[in-house]
Amino acid sequence: MKNYPHPIIAREGWPFLAISIAVAVLASTFVPGFLSFLAWLVAVFVLQFFRDPPRDIPQGDNLVLSPADGRVIKVERTQDPYAQREAILVSVFMNVFNVHSNRSPVDGKIQQVSYFPGKFVNADLDKASLENERNAIVLKTPRDQTVTFVQVAGLIARRILCYVKAGDLLSRGQRYGFIRFGSRVDVYLPLDANVKVSIGEKVSASSTVLAVLA
């Protein structure tokens, strides 16, 4: 099964893409040369940053899918500060070349959505999870298991977008938000979850299985 949440270019990027192309066209017209080349380079960067391709969604019981593209930077037992429980934390770091559309890792009903203002330190650092600007979603699966996933802003990221609220139902692979220009997503799982990824592994939103719930 594939998930087509939007056209190939994320709607969040349409204004940025339109502006960057307009600037590039004007530069080509009035100041051709190196400045024109730089303007088109910026336009290409904006185009690749806001791409939002369809993804294959693995089928199977109790799968937890990656909510973001990127690289796994943490797999550890820790405290879930949003659901007040011990949990397994899997963190995925996104650089500026990754797709930044965020998708639900599991099916379920949202229990709470909590936004926290904060700093903008490098999202690759441990302290980013609790010090940076972030948006946390606590969800109950159909089997009454709790899964928490947190959008965390980064050094360059200055805007977390979340389109869901408490009481909403989410499907595995469903698009629920976007983070602009570099960030991470933390996923807190039940202690008996069977994690399928390791630190340093590259993952793809909705396509990579992070874990299997017991």
Q: Are 82 and 152 in contact (CB under 8 A)?
A: no
Q: Which residues are annotated as catalytic?
A: 183
Report the alpha-carbon distance of residue 198 to residue 196 in Å, rounded: 7
Maximum C-alpha span of the chain: 62
In the chain, beta strands by DSSP E? 2-3, 55-56, 63-65, 70-80, 85-94, 101-103, 108-116, 134-140, 146-153, 159-162, 169-170, 175-180, 183-189, 194-195, 202-203, 209-212
Two structure tokens written together for 100: 């930044």
Contact 72, 197 (CB under 8 A): yes
